[in-house]
Chain A
């Protein structure tokens, strides 16, 4: 079945919030509403004609106007693949610090989504509501910020440890060497900057990202080690 057939099948499933198939793209995709995502994924997995056994990739992409989530699915039985997208429009003045788009987690549908969604939270700050284990995956728990956002600022502290961004090599630092002074980043400067003062962002320091994601889970299951 090709993408058009899959889209028709999906449209006939009676799920609200399924958009048109974009056939101009190289991999045709369909945009669905965030609320419909879990239902769409479950349908695509369970319907015998679709039979998408595998979730290949979850990708969040930050654009000017939105953060766009792409879910790449494929079926081994039928040798076809499909792309489902969710668009989270950027609110007025939404930036790295204030805006964390929220989409429902599909970790309950595909186990593979577990780590992929953790990675997207880690690097882009997308909140996956209902994720069973919403921790960072690649960066340290104490890390502040989401580095793949375009307006990410390099943090000045990792937990209690000040991060040095001085390019002076170790062997050239004399006994009197001190870390460069910390000054806030002026607007419009390039990305890599001298350290800025410690952030007072709500979920800095490895706390759970959102209140409805059961923050107690991560701390209580002893996974902090």
Chain B
């Protein structure tokens, strides 16, 4: 009788299907870590979704209030662990703003150089894992091949492969030499050829375009209102890049580079393909910046003299607060630090780009299919270490 009622009940749908709750994660191959998305499914179609985050919460803000300013630098490495240099950079700039010091010129160029290298490495992961999300396993290995070169390059100057702690308040940990820069330019030459290979492999693939175009459309208004930044915002057609618009390092002011924005090439503006393609083109722009950095890097000190003295005792910035934003691979990373003159800040707030980008997910998923959910999560390119901090 129940079955009969099921079919005769007054419903608008042609076929009655029971709503199914599906837990996508926290242990799932394509949630890029420990994100949990609870999906209400009608067959293959998602009717509603709820993001659940916090599985990787490591109390970074609490730790920030209990360690000194310098000691917190390695913790920033572990937030967005794919772009540690950029995190170090944002934190160092914040502390420098609090202390009213500025890094020497050469340090600024080194910072830009390593930050752009790390941006390429981070976007390579985004590219590779996006292929895996869509069932193409091969691009991943190609991406990791090039990322390996970058990690080896950065290891040579910092001693670490992933979590560098290289950019510090006042400058950078070590100076770089010409031999290393030659290796970087060799890598750049190599990378530009490889980049064309990626496009033949994945970007122009018919199936790939079918899977990503017109999927997960993020309108400009929604992106702005939700605080999306970085490639996610640019893919929606907003030409905004802190490196160009609010140059926080000298090289970004002096170097020439374009800001790729989404154009809706294969579908609607702001779809998954646009987000993917913005990232791909940003890699090439980063190569351009690196080339110019190598060319123009000035001689000089790599660390501010006055800071070296300060390093002997814990840094004690004067009471005050500073908010600094930096263009990370995933968007604008901001640190809001409030000091009351002590050894450690009384508030160490992080504006994590992945956190804000992810908050739009619940609005993109309803109405799409399960496969599209995976494509959308992948195209937002989140790092859960940063979302949960």
Direct chain A–B contact by Cβ atoms under 8 Å: yes
Query: What CA separation (Å) do A223 and B39 show in the bound complex?
Result: 10
The verdict on A79 contacting B246 (CB below 8 Å), with A59-B336, A138-B57 known, is yes
A53/B349 contact (C-beta < 8 A), A79-B245, A137-B54 known = no
Q: Which of A110-118, A175-183, A198-206 contacts B (4 or more CB under 8 A)?
A: A110-118
Of the listed stretches B58-66, B119-127, B150-158, B288-296, chain A binds: B58-66
Q: How far is the CB of A117 from chain B (nearest CB, A)?
A: 11
Q: A140 near B54 (CB under 8 angstroms)?
A: yes
Stretch at the interface among B109-117, B131-139, B254-262, B321-329: B321-329
Q: Is the CB of B227 within 8 A of A72?
A: no
A15 within 8 A of B: no
Given contacts A111-B225, A139-B54, A147-B59, contact A63 B336 (CB under 8 A): no
Contact in complex: B240, A112 (CB < 8 Å): no
A115 to B54, CA, bound (A): 12
Q: Take A26-B322, A112-B356 as given contacts and tell me if A61 and B226 are in contact as well, using a CB distance cutoff of 8 Å.
A: no
What is the CA–CA distance of A139 and B53 in the complex, to the nearest angstrom?
9
Is A148 touching B61 in the complex (CB atoms < 8 A)?
A: yes
A54 at the binding interface (Cβ < 8 Å): yes
Give a binary string over A51-66; 1 marks a CB under 8 Å from any B CB, 0 the rest: 0011111010111000
Q: Do residues B332 and A111 form an inter-chain contact, with CB atoms below 8 A? A: no
**Nearest-CB distance from A113 to chain B (Å)?**
9
Count chain A residues whose beta carbon lies closer than 8 angstroms to a beta carbon of B. Answer: 33
Give A181 to B269 CA distance when docked, in angstroms. Answer: 60
In the assembled complex, A187 has its CB within 8 A of some CB on chain B: no
Residue ID in chain B nearest A45 by CB atoms: B225
User: Across the interface, do B322 and A56 meet the contact criterion of CB distance under 8 Å?
Assistant: no
The listed residue (B54, B238, B334) touching A138 by CB distance below 8 A is B54
The answer to whether B226 touches A112, judged by C-beta atoms less than 8 angstroms apart, is yes
Q: Provide the residues of chain A in CB contact with B226, threshold 8 Å.
A: 111-112
State in angstroms the CA–CA spacing of A207 and B356 once bound together. 25
* Chain B residue contacts of A56, Cβ below 8 A: 227, 325, 332, 334, 351
Which of chain B's residues has its CB closest to A191's CB?
B66
A27, A57, A72 — which one has the most chain B CB atoms within 10 A of its CB? A57
Contact B61 A110 (CB under 8 A): no
A83 within 8 Å of B (CB atoms): yes
- The reply to whether the CB of B320 lies closer than 8 angstroms to some CB of chain A is yes
For the complex, give the distance between the alpha carbons of A137 and B336 in Å.
20
Say if the beta carbon of A76 comes within 8 Å of chain B.
Answer: yes
What is the distance, in angstroms, from A1's C-beta to the closest C-beta of chain B?
15
Contacts of A140 in B (CB 8 A): 54
Nearest-neighbor residue (CB-CB) of B97 within chain A? A26
B336 touches A225 (CB 8 A): no
B-contacting residues, A30-87, CB 8 Å = 53-57, 59, 61-63, 70, 72, 76, 79, 83
Contact: A137 with B53, CB < 8 Å? yes
Given contacts A63-B346, A111-B359, contact A223 B50 (CB under 8 A): yes
Contact bitstring B254-294, A, C-beta under 8 A = 1, else 0: 00000000000000000000000000000000000000000
Taking A56-B332, A57-B336 as contacts, is the C-beta distance between A147 and B62 under 8 angstroms?
yes
Contact B336 A25 (CB under 8 A): no
Residues of A near B323 (CB, < 8 A) are 27, 57, 70, 72, 83
| Per-residue contact bits, chain A 188-225, to B (CB 8 Å; 1 contact, 0 not) | 00010000000000000000000000000000000101
Contact A72 B334 (CB under 8 A): yes
Residues of B within 8 A of A148 (CB): 61-62, 65, 347
A123 to B355, CA, bound (A): 15
CB–CB B359/A112 < 8 A: yes
One digit per residue, 1 when the CB lies within 8 angstroms of any chain A CB and 0 when it does not, for chain B 22-65 equals 01000000000000001000000000001011100101011001
- Separation of A36 and B52 alpha carbons in the complex (Å): 32
Question: A110–B225 contact, CB under 8 A?
Answer: yes
Task: Sample 25 A-B pairs with CB under 8 A, ordered by A number.
Answer: A25-B320, A27-B323, A53-B224, A53-B225, A54-B225, A54-B229, A56-B351, A57-B336, A57-B351, A59-B349, A62-B346, A63-B340, A63-B346, A70-B336, A72-B323, A112-B356, A123-B61, A136-B54, A138-B53, A138-B388, A139-B57, A148-B61, A223-B50, A225-B50, A225-B52
B residues lining the A interface (CB < 8 Å): 21, 23, 38, 50, 52-54, 57, 59, 61-62, 65-66, 97-98, 222, 224-227, 229, 238, 240, 245-246, 320-323, 325, 332, 334, 336, 338, 340, 346-347, 349, 351, 355-356, 359-360, 363, 388-389
Query: In the complex, given contacts A53-B225, A56-B351, A76-B238, what are 18 additional A-B residue pairs having Cβ atoms less than 8 angstroms apart?
Result: A25-B321, A26-B321, A53-B224, A54-B224, A56-B325, A57-B351, A59-B336, A59-B349, A61-B346, A62-B347, A72-B323, A79-B246, A83-B323, A137-B54, A138-B57, A139-B57, A140-B54, A148-B347
